[in-house]
Amino acid sequence: MSGYLNSPDGDWFNNRLKGTMFFIIIAFFVILVRLFYLQMIHGETYRELSTNNRIRLQHLPPSRGLIYDSQGDLLVDNRPAFDLLVVPRDAKPLDETLARLSSLTGIPVAEMRGRVVKKGGENSSRSVVLKRDIGRDLLAPVEVHRFDLPGVIVKVRPKRYYLNPGMAAHLLGYLGEINTREIASGEHPEASVGDFIGKFGLEKVMEPLLRGAQGGRQVEVDVRGRVIRELKRVEADPGKNIYLTVNTALQKRAEALLKGDVGSVVALDPQSGAVLAMASSPTFDQNDFVSGLSYAKWNSLKNNPGRPMENKATQAMYPPASIYKIVSSIAALEEKVVDRRTHFFCSGQHAYGDRIYRCWKRVGHGTTDMVKAISQSCDVYFYEVGERLGVDRLAFYARSCGLGSPTGVELAGEASGLIPTAEWKRRKLGRNWLSGETLSLAIGQSYNLVTPIQMAMLIASVANGGTIYQPYILGKVEAAGGAVVTTTHPVVKGHLPASKKNLALVQKGLWGTVNSRKGTGKIASIQGVTVAGKSGTAQVVSKGWGRSKKRSIRKFRDHAWFVAYAPVEHPTIAVAVIVEHGEGGSTKAAPIARKVIETYLGKEVRDD
């Protein structure tokens, strides 16, 4: 203790307390002065502002970014739409105003009253939407009689407009009115009831880019709710414009080719992964969603067996069928269970255990090596390969080729597909893997499932010599003024697990598919361009069914696959096509692939 004498006593504290009290009194004096200033000196002004006039906050919505294709052509635009609103408090007498409005527009008074009552009552100072998107025929009389309609407001609102209705609908997506759950989620901090947000496709995924930032203004309004003057203003920050990698001509062509069928076409630039076209059939008109879908329309979309709301390119999973032989070939060559000289004899069937596994070609392919097996899609050759590889080695190669997980393209809800392993089957089905199943697996006909975009990515990687590029749709982002904000650079996801030499062998097989005498994809050949590809026919029900019976019922017909790339020397396009229940990959899917390539490369279009 530095001294008992120094310890504080009552008198000492008393002095310190005086200081504290002085400080407090000064502080409250300042408060009183401020109050005097606000209430006594400027009281009149503030009273005026609070009674006769009102200062209100109005939001200035940003204009949503536009969407262009790779050529700079506009795909998605904003067009003005006119909403009819009323501020009940300013519309006194309300009934008279509504009656007058009803006689001008034909909207029943009861309907408008109902909306006012539901949204806060007759004294609410918040505007209530009476009718959305009134046409110009209703707009004109309302504008003319503006001064007889106190509190009635016509609000111009940009409305999303899709220039090519139905085109690339799954890719572009659509806007819809925000719902309470989305407001509560906190993902749209600036949005309020009545705002439109991206609900599907790129409109949803790119929402943060397209949306922009809200502005606003403080305005003084008179008793009738009309703006007298603007006090402060913060401009809205318009959304960014985005340019897609999609080629509109190609997209339109792909969709036309799929018309009437259920299926998908994905075209990639094999040198970058850029999506050139992504079609999913059947499609829908996005403008219907923006205007508010009728119940009947929604029901017809929902009940359509072709599932129009599903983006088949990324969300639908199919057995890969013979396309999978590309993966099996790579695995077999890399694991050295076969080499380029290895050949098996195909008699049209292969006995394994107590079962007979058939080749699609009943009479057999005879002596078959790797290149021939790919070109003619010999099942027996790949039964032998599957038997030697085993399920887990095959699964490893499939995964390394980018299968079994989403490709990472900028669309929400992408499916993973499925690459079965022995462990997977034990866990999921509670049974052991049967070695016979590996045989089916090697020809893509077991539990394995893939999406069209995965197949496109696979064939693009084979085409470019083994680099797996992540598919992407967003080419570049521009600010509203035209300055480029970002340009997408291709992302290398990985490399095919194949040596140059082995991949060349597979490529030779794919070349043979289209260009050899007995190739299964000859129909895809184009005059003047060398195309390589692979066909596939995915069984929907097991082979036990009679062929005639399967044909007669559409939903039991096989799915038709075709993947291709061209020109072989320096590929600029890779395509994957699937037609659900299209039966033969060679007959139904290959012509579509060919025409897509022809369109892209600007070749004469053959009609057949």
Partner 1 sequence: MIDRRVVEHFDWGLLLITLILSGLGLVALYSAVYAGNDPSLRPLFAKQLVWLGSGMGVMVATFCIDPKEFERWTPGIYAGCMLLLVAVLLVGRVVGGSRRWLAVGSLTLQPSELAKIGVILMLARYYARNATTRGLGFRELLTPAGIVLLPFMLVYLQPDLGTGLLIVMIAGIMTLFVKIERRTLTLLVCAGLGCSVAAWIFFLKAYQKQRVLTFLNPDRDPLGNGYHIIQSKIAIGSGMLTGKGFLKGTQNTLSFLPERHTDFILSVLAEEWGFLGMVFLVLMYCTLFIWSLNIAHKSKNTFGTITAVGVTAMLFWEAFINMGMVMGLMPVVGVPLPLVSYGGSSVVKSLMAIGLLMGVSMRRFKK
Restricting to residues 201-220, name those near partner 1 by CB under 8 A: 215-218
385 CB-contact burial (10 Å; exposed 0-12 / middle 13-18 / buried 19+)? buried
Q: Per-residue string for binding with partner 1, 42-61, x by CB under 8 A?
A: xxxxxx-xxx--xx-x----
**Least distance to partner 1, CB of residue 14, Å:** 6
Which CB atom, from 24 or from 156, has the smaller least distance to partner 1? 24
Task: Count the residues of the shown chain that bind partner 1, applying the rule CB under 8 A.
Answer: 52
> Buried b vs exposed e over 430-448: b needs ≥16 C-beta within 10 Å?
eeebeebbbbbbbbbbbbb
Site string for partner 1, 1-40 (x = CB under 8 A): -xx--xxx-x-xxx-xx-xxx--xx-xx-xxx-xxx-xxx
Site track for partner 1 across 226-265, x = CB under 8 A: -----xxxx-------------------------------
Q: How many CB atoms lie within 10 A of CB 364?
A: 17
502, burial (CB in 10 Å: exposed 0-12, middle 13-18, buried 19+): buried
Select from 41-49, 142-150, 324-332, 434-442 the region that touches partner 1 (CB under 8 A): 41-49
Q: Can you point out the beta strands (E) in 353-416?
A: 355-358, 366-369
Beta carbon nearer to partner 1, 149 or 219? 219
Cβ-based nearer residue to partner 1, 39 or 179: 39
Residue nearer to partner 1 on the CB measure, 46 or 298: 46
CB of 194 vs partner 1, minimal distance in Å = 18
Q: Quick one: DSSP state of residue 585?
A: I
Q: Distance from CA of residue 357 to its chain's centroid?
A: 40
In the complex, least distance from residue 35 CB atom to partner 1, rounded to whole angstroms: 5
Burial label for 593, CB within 10 Å (0-12, 13-18, 19+), is buried
> Considering only residues 87-126, where is the footprint of partner 1 by CB under 8 A?
120-121, 123-125
- CA-to-CA separations, 259 to 308, 316, 444, 497, 605, in angstroms, rounded: 12, 18, 27, 37, 18
Q: Find, among 221, 184, 205, 216, the residue nearest to 314 by Cα.
A: 205
CA distances to 261, 520, 542, 583 from 372, rounded to whole Å, are 31, 11, 26, 23
Q: How far is the CB of 183 from partner 1 (least distance, A)?
A: 14
Rounded Cα distance between 535 and 322, Å, is: 7
Which helix H or strand E contains 24, and what residues bound it? helix 10-35
Minimum CB distance to partner 1 smaller for 184 or for 363: 184
| DSSP SS3 for 378 | coil
State the minimum distance, in angstroms, from the CB of residue 109 to partner 1.
Answer: 23
Q: Reduce the DSSP state of residue 471 to 3 states and report it.
A: coil
Instruction: Quote the least distance from Cβ 534 to partner 1, whole Å.
Output: 53
Active site members: 322
494 binds partner 1 (CB under 8 A): no
Tell me the closest approach of the beta carbon of residue 38 to partner 1, in angstroms. Answer: 4
Nearer CB in complex with partner 1: 3/72 = 3
Q: Which residues contact 416 (CB under 8 A, 6 or more apart)?
A: 404, 405, 406
**Which C-beta is closer to partner 1: that of 31 or that of 483?**
31
Please return the burial class of 422, using the count of CB atoms within 10 Å of its CB with bins 0-12, 13-18 and 19+. middle
Rounded (10°) angle between helices 452-463 and 500-515: 110
* C-alpha torsion sign, points 243, 248, 252, 255: negative
Give me the least distance between CB of 81 and partner 1, in Å please: 25
Q: Which is nearer to partner 1, 60 or 134 (CB)?
A: 60
Angle at 374 between CA 420 and CA 585, to 5 degrees: 75
Interface with partner 1 by CB under 8 A: which residues?
2-3, 6-8, 10, 12-14, 16-17, 19-21, 24-25, 27-28, 30-32, 34-36, 38-40, 42-47, 49-51, 54-55, 57, 120-121, 123-125, 215-218, 231-234
